[in-house]
Amino acid sequence: MAQVLPAPPLVAAVATVTAAPRRFLPVLPVLALVATLALPVPGDAGGGGGGTVADAVSGLVVLCCALRLVRGRRRPLTRTAAVVLAMPVVGVALATAGAASAGAGAAGLVRYLQIFVLVPAAVVLLVRDRRDARLIAWSLVTLALWQGAIGVHQYVTGTGASYQGEEIRAVGTFGPTDIMGMAAVVSFGLVCALGLALGSGPARHRAVAAACALALLLPLAVSFSRGAWIATAVTCGAQLALAGLRRAVQVFAVAAAAAVVLVGGLGVGTAMLQERMSSITQVAQAPDQSVTDRYTMWAAAVDMWRERPLTGVGLKGFPDHRDGHASLALSSGSDTDGAGAGFHRQPLLSPHNMYLLVLSEQGLLGLLALAGSWLALLVRGLRRLVRARRSPDGPDCALVACGMLLWQLVDFAYADIGGPSTVLTALVLGLAAWWALAPEGAGER
């Protein structure tokens, strides 16, 4: 019998490279969704009034997932996963029936199903193991570095969005009408980088991830987004605590040193930035107009819920009922300017709090269904994270998935869905659901 000789190293390397695209083919639609968020956003899409390229690609993600299921004749989801992911449908369906108009109800139904049901379920089915999850995490870090670099350039050159009369607010490619877009992208990238750095992968990979996390602190700072700062601080603190006390102390020391360099050496600690930071603890004593508007809209949302406690005022109903429940302290809108766009008066059409938006439009039933789904993902994800700490594969994917979900849940206290960056929420929920709901033993490579 002829002896089988091993392939030459060059042939083996070429075979590995050519096989890589096929290996990651199922997750490529998810990576394409991330890539679309690096593109400039048209001026008329920033306010969330119409569909974006990212919305279209999210539809392709769902379509690719459906085609893959049909071709492979696979069972779509486990019973537990189907129940948890389908819970938001209950409240959304009831609120659609109570909408003021059929058109508004249909638009709201499609949006909620896209962000909270269909795209997350597609991500669960397209992500097969830890390698896919790590690839998505690194793609989010890359996107954050890209958007962050643009944001820092806007801050340094004075070409960003207007903030206190100066065009210095970093918004990346999202424009002044979606000022939370770049902050969310950079925050997710930072959370992913920290989770990868706290894992048990190769030392070189962990060092690169740690360097990326430190680099993203600067664009996050110059985004002037208090909600993103709070959510990131809470999430990173939780990641460090879950990774172990020793690592928490080490990372805290490095972060403190980086803060000293940024503030003292690079001059990031401008008076405006310091004032913005100090305003976090002064919102109840001397709130600015944006905080006053937010408190007023929160009170209006609660008043709407009291009027219809079980089912709310219907999907897309907050703008129509706002003036009847808001006090005179509410301004007519917020001013947006800079970052390549002209002056625009943006109306305040949501309470900027996802929980109160759902409570006012979908009632207690809708909030329990939606928040119950998120809580189930968080609890199951944390339980698997504890077990992953003792696994030879390490807790990096768990820290990334649970960290991004925790960031989103904290940020929902200061923001709601809307704008081109909203598809990231669907991706975050999908990745968290993959980690929390995958069958035991799945995704352990």
Tokens of residue 400, six digits:
């990334």
pLDDT of residue 420: 82
Contact (CB, 8 A) for 429 and 377 = yes
d(Cα 380, Cα 386) in Å, to the nearest integer?
10
pLDDT of residue 402: 96
**Which residue is it, tokens 């206190």?**
164
pLDDT of residue 340: 61
Contact (CB, 8 A) for 348 and 334 = yes
Alpha-helical regions (H) of 24-52: 28-36
- Over its length of 445 residues, how does the chain's per-residue pLDDT go in tens digits? 444 444 444 444 434 434 456 667 888 999 999 999 998 877 555 544 557 889 999 999 999 999 988 887 666 788 899 999 999 998 899 888 888 788 888 888 999 999 999 999 999 999 988 899 999 999 999 999 999 999 999 998 988 887 777 888 888 898 887 888 899 999 999 999 999 998 877 889 989 999 999 999 999 988 888 889 999 999 999 999 888 777 667 666 766 676 666 555 555 556 666 666 665 655 555 556 677 778 888 989 999 999 889 988 988 888 888 878 777 667 666 656 556 666 666 677 788 899 999 999 999 999 999 999 999 999 999 999 988 877 777 788 999 999 999 999 999 998 888 888 899 999 999 999 999 997 655 545 5
Tokens of residue 160, six digits:
């960003």
Task: Provide the pairing of β-strand 166-169 with 341-346.
Answer: unpaired
The continuous run of DSSP H or E covering 70 comes out as: helix 53-72
Among 125, 75, 133, which Cα is nearest to 438's? 125
The continuous run of DSSP H or E covering 254 comes out as: helix 245-260
Residue 163's beta-bridge partner residues? Answer: 166
Does the pTM surpass 0.75? The reply is: yes
Among 329, 296, 333, which Cα is nearest to 47's? 333
pLDDT of residue 48: 47
Sequence-distant (≥ 6) Cβ neighbours of residue 209 within 8 angstroms: 141, 193, 194, 196, 197
Most distant CA atoms of the chain, gap in Å: 92
